[in-house]
């Protein structure tokens, strides 16, 4: 099913979860530069405040709320206060590498609660406004790690695979209601989240370049978009290979 058509000239308000750092912060600043009003949500009010204060002249274009995406009640209150956005970027997330030969239940639960259920909480809070308007656009932030299980990603990867499956299903209900759904599945982007990786990250992309690509793809009809291009093509092929071959290559080149 095709995503519904949206006129971006009339679309000026975005809600961005995880707006205080990394991709969410870069994307929020880009939208503001393009004339949008952004409502940023994340836990750290000091980081959100710093973003607001460092905006050149249009500080009123950035409204922010300190809120944990695990807090559905607070998200619903924010939705009541700000109304329905034109764009909802469900981006807040965490990443910790894990060794699955150790017991890690707390870490698995933490990833699930923030990366998956946190997205659903935000979705739940803002959805009624979008449905009422019969118009809007939701971008869910997944990852190429959702395409195939990678070493050290036993906590992170499953949450991104779950988001992919959720978005694939949800669009069939949302598109007929005038709501466009897209899935963003980046490779490596240079942020504090990836700075903890002690391995070579092929195609590591600058965060502003990533924000520019999200902006470019959001006006396309693609359901899922990914970048950097070469790395994502490689990963897509990799994820389609028979398991015997892909697991052999992973053991040979990554572990
Ligand atoms: N960087 C990459 O290579 C890459 C690749 C693929 C996908 N992604 C995805 O892109 C998204 C952003 O990643 P990033 O690299 O920009 O990470 P980042 O720099 O660590 O930023 C993560 C953002 O999420 C917010 N956040 C984390 N936990 C939260 C919570 N419980 N409630 C509300 N906000 C929360 C953080 O703000 P506070 O700490 O202030 O709450 C921060 O603003 C994530 O979903 C990540 O999985 C990243």
* Residue 141, domain CATH: 3.40.50.720
Give the largest Cα separation in the chain, rounded.
Answer: 56
Cα 248 to averaged position of ligand 1 atoms, centre (Å): 31
**Residue position matching structure tokens 């793809």:** 217
Q: Is residue 5 part of a domain?
A: no
pLDDT for position 251: 85
Number of other residues whose CB lies within 10 A of the CB of residue 217: 17
Cα 130 to averaged position of ligand 1 atoms, centre (Å): 24
Please identify, by atom number, the ligand 1 atom nearest to the C-alpha of residue 113.
Answer: 31
Q: Is residue 4 part of a domain?
A: no
pLDDT for position 200: 87
Cα 255 to averaged position of ligand 1 atoms, centre (Å): 25
Work out the angle at residue 225's Cα, subtended by the Cα atoms of residues 235 and 134, and round it to the nearest 5 degrees. Answer: 150
Q: Is residue 242 part of a domain?
A: yes
Cα 119 to averaged position of ligand 1 atoms, centre (Å): 12
Residues 6 or more apart in contact with residue 72 via CB below 8 angstroms: 121, 124, 125
d(CA 215, CA 220): 9
Q: Is residue 2 part of a domain?
A: no
Which of 190-200 are b and which e, b meaning 16 or more Cβ less than 10 Å from the residue's Cβ? bbebeeeeeee
Structural domains counted in the chain: 1
User: Which residue, judged by its Cα, is nearest atom 7 of ligand 1?
Assistant: 143
Q: Is residue 1 part of a domain?
A: no
Per run of 10 residues, the mean pLDDT along the chain (length 255 residues) is 46 91 98 95 97 82 97 98 97 96 97 98 98 97 96 96 98 98 98 92 96 98 97 94 93 78
Helical (H) or strand (E) element with 42? strand 37-42
Give alpha helix (H) positions in 83-228: 105-111, 117-133, 157-174, 207-218
Residues 6 or more apart in contact with residue 28 via CB below 8 angstroms: 14, 16, 19, 38, 40, 51, 62
pLDDT for position 60: 81
User: Which residue, judged by its Cα, is nearest atom 43 of ligand 1?
Assistant: 18
Q: What is the pTM of this model?
A: 0.95
Cα 86 to averaged position of ligand 1 atoms, centre (Å): 21
Q: Is residue 206 part of a domain?
A: yes
Long-range contacts of 236-239 (CB under 8 A, 24+ apart): 236/147, 238/147, 238/148, 239/147, 239/148
Q: Where in the sequence is the domain holding 28, given as residue range(s)?
A: 10-253
Please identify, by atom number, the ligand 1 atom nearest to the C-alpha of residue 145.
Answer: 6
HEC-encoded secondary structure of 213-238? HHHHHHCCCCCEECCCHHHHHHHHHH
Pocket perturbation via mutation, ligand 1, pick of 78, 93, 156 by most ligand atoms within 8 A of CB: 93
Q: Which residues line ligand 1 (CB under 6 A)?
A: 17-24, 42-44, 47, 68-70, 91-95, 114, 118, 141, 143, 186, 188-189, 191-194
Q: Is residue 200 part of a domain?
A: yes
d(CA 141, CA 137): 13
Cα 92 to averaged position of ligand 1 atoms, centre (Å): 5
Q: Is residue 65 part of a domain?
A: yes
């Amino acid at each position: 099913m095709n995503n519904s058509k949206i006129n971006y000239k009339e679309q000026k308000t975005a809600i961005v979860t995880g707006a205080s750092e990394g991709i969410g912060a870069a994307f929020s600043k880009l939208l503001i530069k393009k004339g949008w009003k952004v409502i940023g949500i994340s836990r750290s009010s000091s980081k959100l405040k710093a973003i607001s204060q460092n905006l050149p002249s249009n500080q009123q274009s950035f409204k922010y709320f300190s809120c944990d995406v695990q807090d559905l009640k607070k998200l619903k209150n924010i939705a009541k206060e700000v109304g329905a956005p034109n764009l909802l970027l469900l981006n807040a997330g965490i990443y910790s590498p894990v060794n699955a030969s150790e017991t890690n239940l707390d870490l698995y639960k933490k990833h699930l609660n923030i990366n998956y259920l946190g997205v659903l909480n935000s979705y739940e809070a803002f959805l009624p406004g979008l449905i009422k308007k019969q118009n809007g656009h939701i971008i869910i932030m997944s990852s190429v790690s959702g395409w195939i299980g990678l070493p050290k990603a036993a906590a992170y990867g499953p949450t991104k695979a779950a988001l992919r499956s959720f978005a694939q299903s949800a669009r069939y209900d949302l598109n007929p209601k005038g709501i466009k759904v897209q899935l963003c599945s980046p490779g490596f982007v240079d942020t504090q989240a990836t700075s903890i990786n002690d391995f070579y990250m092929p195609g590591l992309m600058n965060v502003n370049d990533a924000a520019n690509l999200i902006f470019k793809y959001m006006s396309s009809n693609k359901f899922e978009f990914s970048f950097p291009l070469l790395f994502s093509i490689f990963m897509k092929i990799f994820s389609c290979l028979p398991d015997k071959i892909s697991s052999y290559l992973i053991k040979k080149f990554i572990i």
